[in-house]
Each structure stands twice: as C-alpha cells, then as structure tokens.
A and B are shown apart, each in its own frame.
Chain A
Amino acid sequence: MQYLVSVIFDENSTQATPDEDAAIDIFNERLQAQGNWVFAGGLASPDAATVIDNRDDAAIISDGPFLESKEYLAGFWVIEAPDLDVALKLAADGSKACNRKVEVRPFQ
C-alpha cells in the first residue's frame, strides 16, 4: 500500500534550514534501508508555479498557483507501508525531520 505524505508549509513555517535538510537526509536513508521508500521531493515556492489548461485544445497558460493559499504543498514523500498505523509512524518521524506539518493520504 502506498501513501502520499504531503509536507504543508503554513504560517508557523520558516524556510528550510541546513539542520532540517540534514535531518531529512537521515530520515530518507532510513526509509530506503527499511524498504518504505518510493519517491520524495521538495518543491519550489508557489510563486514559481504556472498553470496550463489544454482541455479545449488551445493551451492557456497563466502565471501562479491555481489556489492562492497561506498553506501550500512544500514537498512530499511517497511511502510504502502495510497499513495506516505504520504510515502514521513514519509520517510522524518525517514531520519531525522536516519540521513541518504533514498530511497522509492513501493512493487508490
């Protein structure tokens, strides 16, 4: 079973520090060693986002995120876990490592 662990940047968050980066590296290595690792990545700020809508075969490009919000996705993990309890334990450690709130959501 795979879970998406979204890292949420909220009003209590600050830009990532070198300490956080180091803690995330350690956490990632653990995920890989334990076989929970699928994929992970950090995202640039929403200011760097571009929206494209090509549903009518005429791609319309617009600047900025599709949702203006104080809280946004700052990065994510995709993890492999046998059930939600295991996923929540890993996510709790991930939240601690990156010093952010995270959301755990199962893949269909």
Chain B
Amino acid sequence: MSTHEAITLAHQEEWARVVASLTKRFGDLDIAEEAAAEAFATAVERWPTDGVPPNPGAWLTTTANRKAIDRLRRENKRDDKHKEAQLTHDSPEPPSIFDDDRLRLIFTCCHPALAIEARVALTLRMVGGLTVPEIANALLASESAVGQRITRAKAKIKAARIPYRVPSAQDLPTRVSGVLTVLFLVFNEGYLATGPDTAPLRHDLTAEAIRLTRLIRTLLPDNGEVTGLLALMLLTEARRTARVSASGELVALDEQDRGAWDTRLIAEGHQLVRERLAAGVAPGRYQILAAINAVHTSARDMRDTDWSQVLALYDQLVRVDPSPVVALNRAIAVAELDGPEVALATVDRLEEQLTGYHAFHATRADLLRRLGRSQESRAAYDKAVELAGNTAETAYLTRRRDQLRS
C-alpha cells in the first residue's frame, strides 16, 4: 500500500473516531473538528518521509490531542474549556451499553433539535470527514451556505447544550430512526441526483451513505432497521451501473441488463435480509423495503419476479407507512398481478396528494400506454418530464413518450 493509500484509508477509518474522542475529551465540536483536520494535514506532510506509523489511528488521535491542547494554550482559556468539558460530561443517566464515542457523535449530529439540512451537513462533516467544499458539491449548495449551516449547528449544540451521549433505551428507537433518515437522504441524493448540472447518479454519495450505515451497524448490530437500511442500500447500489445507459438515459427495471448487477453486493444484501427474517421480529420500513429489493434481485427477469411476494410486502409496508408514495409503488406490483386497468384505478385515487410528484405521472403514463390510451399517456409523460429533476430520468421519460403511437 502506498503512503497516499494509507492516508486515504486512515481518513476513512479513523476520522470519526478521532473527532469523537476529542469531542469527549474537550467537550467542544469546534476544537475536535479543527484538531482532527490539522492532524490529518500533518499526516499528509509527514508520513511520506517518516513512513506510515504502525498504528495510524493512535498516531492521529495523539497528534490531534496535541493540536487541540496547543490551540487551547494559545487561546489561554484551557481551564475554562476543561470546566466546560467537565460540565458536558456530567450526565445524569447511567452509561449506555452502546458506549462508543462515534455513536455519541452521530446522535449529537442528528439531534432532532437541529434542522434536517443542518443534520445532513454536520453528519457529513463530523462523522463522514467530508470537507465543506465536498459537502457543498454533494448537496448542490454554496460553500458559504454549508459552512454557515455547520457553524450555526455547532453553535446551537453548545448554546442549548445538546448532550454528547447515546440516548436512553426508551428514546433510542426514535433517535436511531432520525439518524437513518439522514443517511437515507444522503443515499437517495446519490441514487437519483437532482438538478440539470449534476451527474444523474452520484456514486460518491451512495458510497458515503453505505460506509456510514455500515459504521452504525457495527455499533448497533441488533437494530433491525439499521440492518434493513444497509441491505436496502446494498441491493440498490448493486444495480447502479445497469441503471444508466451509455447515452445517459435511466434504464427501468424491466430493461436492465441483470448480468451487470453486482453479485457480491446482492449476496451481502440477501444475507442481511435473511438475518432479519431469522430474527423473527416485526420488520420496520427499511427492512420491508430491503425485502422487496431482495425479491427483485432474486429474479432472472421481470416476468420471473415473484410479484405476489412483492405485493404482500407492500401490503405489509402500507401498514407501517400508509403514505401515498407507498400506495403508488404498491400499484406497480398490482399492475403486474391484476393488470394495468386495476392499477390505474388505484393510482388515479392518489392524484390529489401526488399531483406534484413526477413518479405519479410517470406511473400513470406507463399504465395508460399499456392500456393503449396513447393520448392520455402522452399528456402524463409531458407532466412527468416537466416535474422530473434528474437528467437521466428526463431522457428516459422523453424517449418513452416519443415512442408512443399516435
């Protein structure tokens, strides 16, 4: 391994650990973030000549600690900071069984008292180790906006004293679900990136979301929804290269080259889904979505798909999450089992709630096309193209519309 690779690997594996342990020691996210960044900069400077240390993580933590102490000495308020740090740690609750500093860091960054945009930016910075320009690029926001979001979030954490700890067992399910929302948001932006000037699929974002979800799974291995989300991401990521054609057009599931799917990711995703089935606990939203994707990725082609199994899973999902978007996706399975006419009746009932959602019109357009109602189908495709924000999807919808017989 080259020094450069060693630094990249250390950054991936150790960044969150270094930030987390410094936050615990100094009780200040700002100091932790800055000192961690300085420690990695020192590694970039020194490792090529001094060699990679035998324990990169320990080297980075020690260096970052030294940087933080230097800064506090410079600012001559070490005593105050230590007092403050002490206060932050006086936790009235007994230590949790999941006592990992990185977990504390994740829960602090994803605290519900922070706006969702702030949670996403803060998590990518503090846990993911992305730089502000990288996050700005990922979220299609300006660097100054992202920088401000992170600064404000850190200021609120300090001023309102958002605690640096793993929530109590009683609060854990809701708080974990808040963390997963942040990760799923990052993943989805990579899965179907929005905006005319961005690549349709953003592997950097999906890979980062998967990496962070893996981290949370190692920290909370018994949480079914964490495992479910990881499985869902892996089974989706497995189809990444097959999802966009050479000409930059989105390829729908029925037209994808299944030979191009990543069998290693699929095997891992299936293994996780089986693990959750074996657990025998009522599954949550992500576990059901993962199971649906497991059915799709088990089929040789569209016709071979076990649609009754897919529909049964959607029925289960509707009970957990009775949202119109879930009802829309369920209708797609209904179309395969009971035909497009039955499905269309279901879809039409969702119009009021979903009229601003491109997938609603795309689904309607496809059902109308299959029923030979070309004119109505064309109008629905027009509406879908107008609302779709993803370049590859727009190209796909436009082609399908133009292939309609008049």
In the complex, the answer to whether A106 meets B160 with C-beta atoms within 8 Å is yes
In the complex, the answer to whether B113 meets A88 with C-beta atoms within 8 Å is yes
With a cutoff of 8 Å between Cβ atoms, the chain B residues found around residue A106 in the complex are 159-161
Q: Which of these, B92, B111, B113, B159, contacts A86 with CB under 8 Å?
A: B92
Per-residue CB proximity of B148-162 to A under 8 Å, as 1/0?
000000000001111
Q: How far is the CB of B113 from chain A (nearest CB, A)?
A: 6
Size of interface on A: residues with Cβ below 8 Å to B: 11
In the complex, the answer to whether A83 meets B163 with C-beta atoms within 8 Å is yes
CB of A82 within 8 A of chain B?
A: yes
CB of B167 within 8 A of chain A?
A: yes
Q: How far is the CB of B174 from chain A (nearest CB, A)?
A: 12
In the complex, the answer to whether A1 meets B161 with C-beta atoms within 8 Å is yes
Size of interface on B: residues with Cβ below 8 Å to A: 12
CB of A97 within 8 A of chain B?
A: no
Q: How far is the CB of A106 from chain B (nearest CB, A)?
A: 5
CA distance A83 to B89 in the complex (A): 10
With a cutoff of 8 Å between Cβ atoms, the chain B residues found around residue A85 in the complex are 162-163, 167, 171
Residues of A within 8 A of B (CB): 1, 82-86, 88, 104-106, 108
In the complex, the answer to whether B160 meets A84 with C-beta atoms within 8 Å is yes
With a cutoff of 8 Å between Cβ atoms, the chain A residues found around residue B113 in the complex are 84, 88
> Told that A84-B111, A86-B92, A106-B160 touch, could you supply 11 new A-B pairs with CB distance under 8 A?
A82-B92, A83-B161, A84-B161, A84-B163, A85-B167, A85-B171, A88-B113, A104-B160, A106-B159, A106-B161, A108-B159
CB of B90 within 8 A of chain A?
A: yes
Ordered by A's residue number, 20 sampled pairs between the chains whose C-beta atoms are within 8 Å are A1-B161, A82-B91, A82-B161, A82-B163, A83-B91, A83-B161, A84-B113, A84-B160, A84-B161, A84-B162, A84-B163, A85-B162, A85-B163, A85-B167, A104-B160, A105-B160, A106-B159, A106-B160, A106-B161, A108-B159
With a cutoff of 8 Å between Cβ atoms, the chain A residues found around residue B92 in the complex are 82, 86
Q: How far is the CB of A107 from chain B (nearest CB, A)?
A: 10
Q: How far is the CB of B176 from chain A (nearest CB, A)?
A: 15
CA distance A84 to B157 in the complex (A): 9
